[in-house]
Structure 1
């Protein structure tokens, strides 16, 4: 309930007392006329929910950096001995990197309530115009910031407007649509054949098998890098790989085709009775695939071809060469939304024509 006291000929003090958790909060403000005092009191009473007063002092005093530091502890607690943050998944590791970005950004010392959508739009447009990062990177950073706002508001039980809206995120455009060419070169080899020949030699003989498995399963680079033999069921009735940790933190079971099984068997080490948690590929990080790839694949022999294009190729082939439904292909690829599956699918008109008859 609001009260207004006349403190002089031109002074009116408006006061409101309400519960905020276990304590009683009193807010007041003095005006030079009664109308302004009444208007202010009505506005403040509008911020009262039932018998609880929404105290905005916390969100006004908390900076973006402080909220991000708070969120870090939720996704990557500190090790007690080393004081280093220990993310449990690749997704958490990426989140941690983005939180560090916001902690060092121009908005780090801004109050949570002072950051508005138009501030982020200006920041977004500047990054895009200068070509500092891709639209997808900006989307990832904004998604992380959005999670900070949502989780902080819920945990602290305060009202907090999230500055990250639909209009703030940049358009991702059409994305990459590079596929392996089916047309033979002068030697009669199509692009996949030439790629496998290039990857079959050198100091990394496992790279050829990795390319085949990627094309057959649509597995992500990080999923291949972390795959261990105890998760590869070659002798099951329906051979498959179990992926307990994926990009979206959801487990997935990936079926293996006859060709993928043969590639997997070619990687089995000799004279090893128990494989256990031994890695399928001799790499420490997902980036090792990129390093090995760039040693044999360049723009001269394979123009504009990237490792991630193999995943696009694999998903497109699942549509072209099988009768699987969209939700079945999503179960294999690990996509959660149909629109993301669409971005990875690039169907050839000639293949569609053959199916039409």
Structure 2
């Protein structure tokens, strides 16, 4: 059993177990001493012995983040974004906490503070990184952490579902705005997004070799969810791509020579020219998926085109037109 006592102005925790050398440590508060004793007893119960926790007393969360950023992040498909997020985490006060003192309350305070300045979705991603860092430290790096404290903290609820679809003549205004712009392939890019429901990154990453003109199919070797898929092209999408191919100086490395940042700027200018309000480029994916349902495709068929692994997530992207549903009921 653990003993907690006040000694010379500080709180000392002491753990005695048969077959192991007694361990004791002093803390500023009684709560810290009790937590240390509980964690140590849990480790003894789990491993059959008390691990050497000195490394936890000298290692900070920031040092773990730096090692993870250097060794683990570069192996991931989203390495650039994750490295940027870890840079933010390493600048936070939480990064200076030693692992021996890192508590559930520290993580909860970090969560609440971040929610004051960033969206819940950003906070959830940051918590996911912290959780995986600790998990790797325990499983792969052999650090004697008794538990992953991030898993004990409630995650913020994300409510970012959007039901924005193209209304009235907005689609035609967008296409007319593309014609008045200076980017010759922007109209093709917008049509492809509407007709296929493909993600922005998938569209910008397209190569001409990915498009089978005989089959009228786009083959995506790797996508966001880690799997490849084939996307059938409507006649409208296929014609738009064929017309752009005839005009373009063929570069086998890319169909649309544009980076994400450039597209974001072009999209803002297009909305201004077209007088379309509150429309994100990602909303075209909502539009495309919803139209696939309105054409009569079932859930499995649509998911094979859109690339959604979970039907629950697919439902979030689906906003069917009530008018179209009424016509189908007649």
TM-score scaled to structure 2, two decimals? 0.80
1:28 alignment partner, one of 20, 23, 31: 23
Larger deviation, residues 45-54 vs 296-305: 45-54
1:152 equivalent to 2:137? Answer: yes
Aligned to 2:194: 215
Correspondence list, 1:147-186, <5 A:
147-157=132-142, 158-165=144-151, 168-181=154-167, 183=168
Q: Is the 8 A contact 2:42 2:146 kept in 1?
A: no
SS in 2 for 1:253: strand
Shift of 1:220: 1.4
CA distance in structure 2 between the aligned counterparts of 1:134 and 1:101, rounded to whole angstroms: 15
Correspondence list, 1:49-64, <5 A:
49=46, 53-64=50-61
CA distance in structure 1 between the aligned counterparts of 2:15 and 2:255, rounded to whole angstroms: 74
Cα deviation 1:208-234 (Å, max 9, x = unaligned): 110010011111112212211122222
- Count of equivalent residues: 305
1:96 equivalent to 2:83? Answer: yes
Q: Is the 8 A contact 2:64 2:133 kept in 1?
A: yes
- In structure 2, relative to structure 1, the CA distance for the partners of 1:271 and 1:343 (3 Å cut) is closer
Q: Is the 8 A contact 1:113 1:161 kept in 2?
A: no
CA distance in structure 1 between the aligned counterparts of 2:297 and 2:255, rounded to whole angstroms: 30
CA distance in structure 2 between the aligned counterparts of 1:329 and 1:166, rounded to whole angstroms: 37
- In structure 2, relative to structure 1, the CA distance for the partners of 1:106 and 1:299 (3 Å cut) is farther
SS in 2 for 1:268: helix
SS in 2 for 1:242: strand
CA distance in structure 2 between the aligned counterparts of 1:216 and 1:45, rounded to whole angstroms: 56
Q: Is the 8 A contact 1:113 1:160 kept in 2?
A: no
Q: Is the 8 A contact 1:199 1:296 kept in 2?
A: yes
Task: Report the RMSD for the aligned CA atoms in angstroms.
Answer: 3.2
Gaps (5+ residues) in structure 2? 1-13, 26-36
- In structure 2, relative to structure 1, the CA distance for the partners of 1:323 and 1:148 (3 Å cut) is same
Aligned to 1:109: 96
Shift of 1:160: 4.3
CA distance in structure 2 between the aligned counterparts of 1:336 and 1:251, rounded to whole angstroms: 11
Larger deviation, residues 169-178 vs 154-163: 154-163
1:264 alignment partner, one of 233, 241, 252: 241
SS in 1 for 2:327: helix
Shift of 1:27: 4.9
Correspondence list, 1:1-357, <5 A:
14=16, 26-29=21-24, 44=41, 47-49=44-46, 53-77=50-74, 89=77, 91-129=78-116, 132-157=117-142, 158-165=144-151, 168-181=154-167, 183=168, 190-236=169-215, 239-269=216-246, 277-283=252-258, 285-298=259-272, 301-325=275-299, 327-357=300-330
Higher helix proportion, which one?
Answer: 2
Aligned to 2:7: none
Shift of 1:153: 1.4
Larger gyration radius, structure 1 or structure 2: 1
Shift of 1:249: 3.3
CA distance in structure 1 between the aligned counterparts of 2:181 and 2:313, rounded to whole angstroms: 35
Q: Is the 8 A contact 2:59 2:99 kept in 1?
A: yes
- In structure 2, relative to structure 1, the CA distance for the partners of 1:265 and 1:352 (3 Å cut) is same
CA distance in structure 2 between the aligned counterparts of 1:292 and 1:125, rounded to whole angstroms: 36
Shift of 1:123: 3.1
Shift of 1:260: 1.5
Shift of 1:350: 2.4
TM-score scaled to structure 1, two decimals? 0.74
Gaps (5+ residues) in structure 1? 1-11, 19-25, 31-39, 78-86, 184-189
